[in-house]
A and B are shown apart, each in its own frame.
Chain A
């Protein structure tokens, strides 16, 4: 399977814990995106990488959120001191310039 891969698929954690998600994009794609989606809503943009450079961040990405793409390949999204409102589906997408974005199946985060 050469699609976008996200791990884990589901994460359950207690409020206040830190969590980290991983995204492996399609190998030839140099652009990588993170989104958050809640039930009944469309995806909300969080951040965007071109190669290893983080070029844009949403105001939704508070100081508890950090994303990295250290070698321009896979990316991680970390949430520190999780809160109830962080419960959502976190989606990763990748693309080449001017081409459609391809999405992974997401990581569903549940905060107890």
Chain B
């Protein structure tokens, strides 16, 4: 059974700082690893999808990496902005049951 853990649960940084969010999973036979953003009262917005054969994906100021052997993924956010404040979740989506972490709530202070 796949379990996904995200630490820390909350993070506060000053604007402009680079930061890393962590995601750990227990089953190295992971299919895909997806990072999402969730704003209060909203659904999940997909940020990056790393397929099992890939090691990283980049989109703008975001870079996500996947290390299946260690069971870890990281989301790197460069030059953080107040608009980046949200909850960031990682998940293991598959053609059926998908497992998500409980998220890291990020606050970027102006």
Asked if B95 and A97 make an inter-chain contact with CB atoms under 8 angstroms apart, the answer reads yes
Number of A-B pairs, beta carbon distance below 8 Å? 61
Contact: B93 with A101, CB < 8 Å? yes
- CB contacts (< 8 Å) of A100 on chain B: these are 34, 46, 49, 93
Number of A interface residues in the complex (CB < 8 A): 30
Least CB distance from B87 to A in Å reads: 9
Residues of B participating in the A interface, judged by any CB pair closer than 8 Å: 4, 9, 34, 36, 41-46, 49, 51, 89, 91, 93, 95-103
User: What are 26 A-B pairs at a CB distance below 8 A?
Assistant: A4-B43, A31-B95, A35-B98, A41-B102, A42-B89, A42-B91, A42-B102, A42-B103, A43-B44, A43-B91, A45-B97, A48-B96, A50-B95, A56-B96, A56-B97, A58-B97, A91-B43, A93-B44, A100-B49, A101-B34, A101-B93, A101-B98, A103-B43, A103-B44, A103-B45, A106-B42
